[in-house]
């Protein structure tokens, strides 16, 4: 009986021990599970925080790039700032890859400060863009004004050139000699050299022109070439010794005779004679006098 009780006591002790051991094991298991849970939660927190902060870094990098992307040239101070911000953002990205909880808090603090600085920098960039746009508008407006002024100046220059050309033409025309009181005599030359006025073609040998040139204070004093054209009824230019051609109004004209007169601006009378080596024919003749690029005078005569 005693042995049974002793065995019973031993068995109970073993059971108690096992129960205690199981309970202890369960406690350890629960502890380890809770620690694992905490570690997993910590890992998830760190990962989420890294991702969140890295997203902010990427956003700041993108905003910095966007802000300076449309600026063709930054001043030296702003270039230095931009490089500093880019370097700090790159450094924060490198820290985030290995940062633990404590370091994440420091990175977060630095990122908050950097975000504020970059926001001010972006504001400066926007103001610079605004100023550049205003300057561009002013420049374009100035270009338009310059173009208009240039066009107006060119127009005035053309007008002045045209007026100058017209003035020169008018002055040249005003300076041209004009013959008045033109008298035409058709002459027969006798054997003794005496000249007799005739009206028949077969007897006519010489044509004499008498005319006056009135005073012209604009005309140049001195010798002036005179081209004489004598045209028959068919419009043909009579030619002989000393005939040739000259340019008038951009065309070549044949002349009958060429001579010079000495203009002294004193109402002087002039006479010009031309002897025809060929016989005249009956009909109406025209005489044209040219000098200084203009028609000096004209007259007609008829031979029977």
Distance CA 133, CA 120 (A): 20
Per-residue pLDDT band for 107 (boundaries 50, 70, 90) equals confident
Most confident of 69-83, 126-140, 189-203, 216-230: 216-230
Please give the share of the chain, as a percent, with pLDDT higher than 70.
82
Cβ pair 114, 60 in contact under 8 A: yes
Distance CA 38, CA 19 (A): 28
- pLDDT score at 131: 79
- pLDDT score at 47: 66
Backbone φ, ψ for residue 45 (5° rounding): -60, -50
Distance CA 231, CA 242 (A): 16
- Nearest alpha carbon to residue 53 among 110, 138, 137: 110
Which one has a higher pLDDT value, 32 or 209?
Answer: 209
Fold designation for 179-303:
Immunoglobulin-like (2.60.40)
Q: pTM for the full model? A: 0.51
- pLDDT score at 54: 81
Q: Which two tokens stand for residue 10?
A: 């031993």
- pLDDT score at 55: 83
Distance CA 156, CA 182 (A): 45
Please give the share of the chain, as a percent, with pLDDT higher than 90.
30
Would you kindly state where each structural domain of the chain is located, as residue ranges?
2-131, 179-303
The mean per-residue pLDDT over the stretch 122-132 comes to 78
Which one has a higher pLDDT value, 9 or 237?
Answer: 237
Task: Identify the helix (H) or strand (E) that includes residue 290.
Answer: strand 283-291
Per-residue pLDDT tens digits for 57-99 = 788 787 777 766 655 566 667 777 777 777 888 887 788 776 6
- Nearest alpha carbon to residue 88 among 121, 66, 135: 121
Cβ pair 292, 224 in contact under 8 A: yes
- pLDDT score at 24: 65
The mean per-residue pLDDT over the stretch 215-221 comes to 89
The mean per-residue pLDDT over the stretch 211-238 comes to 91
- pLDDT score at 97: 75
Per-residue pLDDT band for 227 (boundaries 50, 70, 90) equals very high
Per-residue pLDDT tens digits for 145-174 = 888 888 888 888 888 888 777 877 777 888
- pLDDT score at 209: 93
Who contacts 53 (Cβ-Cβ below 8 Å, separation ≥6)? 92, 96, 104, 107, 108, 111
Average pLDDT value for the chain: 80
Per-residue pLDDT tens digits for 5-61 = 666 666 666 777 667 666 766 665 555 545 444 434 444 445 677 788 788 878 878
């Amino acid at each position: 009986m005693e042995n049974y009780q002793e065995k019973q006591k031993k068995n109970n002790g073993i059971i108690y021990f096992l129960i205690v051991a199981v309970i202890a094991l369960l406690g350890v298991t629960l502890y380890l599970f809770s620690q694992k849970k905490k570690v997993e939660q910590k890992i998830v927190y760190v990962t989420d925080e890294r991702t969140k902060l890295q997203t902010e870094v990427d956003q700041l990098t993108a905003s910095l790039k966007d802000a300076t992307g449309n600026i063709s040239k930054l001043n030296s101070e702003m270039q230095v700032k931009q490089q500093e911000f880019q370097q700090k953002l790159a450094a924060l990205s490198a820290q985030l890859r290995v940062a633990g909880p404590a370091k994440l808090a420091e990175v977060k603090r630095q990122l908050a400060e950097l975000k504020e600085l970059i926001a001010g920098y972006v504001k400066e960039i926007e103001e610079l863009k605004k100023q550049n746009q205003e300057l561009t508008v002013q420049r374009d407006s100035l270009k338009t004004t310059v173009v208009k002024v240039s066009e107006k100046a060119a127009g005035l220059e053309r007008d002045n050139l045209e007026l100058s050309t017209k003035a020169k033409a008018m002055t040249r025309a005003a300076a041209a000699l004009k013959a008045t009181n033109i008298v035409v005599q058709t002459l027969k030359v006798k054997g003794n050299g005496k000249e007799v006025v005739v009206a028949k073609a077969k007897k006519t040998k010489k044509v004499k022109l008498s005319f006056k040139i009135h005073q012209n204070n604009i005309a140049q004093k001195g010798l002036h070439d005179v081209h004489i054209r004598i045209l028959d009824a068919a419009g043909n230019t009579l030619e002989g010794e000393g005939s040739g051609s000259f340019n008038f109004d951009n065309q070549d004209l044949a002349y009958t005779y060429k001579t010079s007169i000495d203009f002294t601006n004193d109402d002087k009378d002039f006479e010009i004679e031309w002897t025809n080596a060929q016989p005249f024919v009956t009909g109406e003749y025209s005489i044209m006098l040219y000098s200084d690029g203009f028609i000096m005078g004209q007259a007609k005569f008829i031979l029977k």
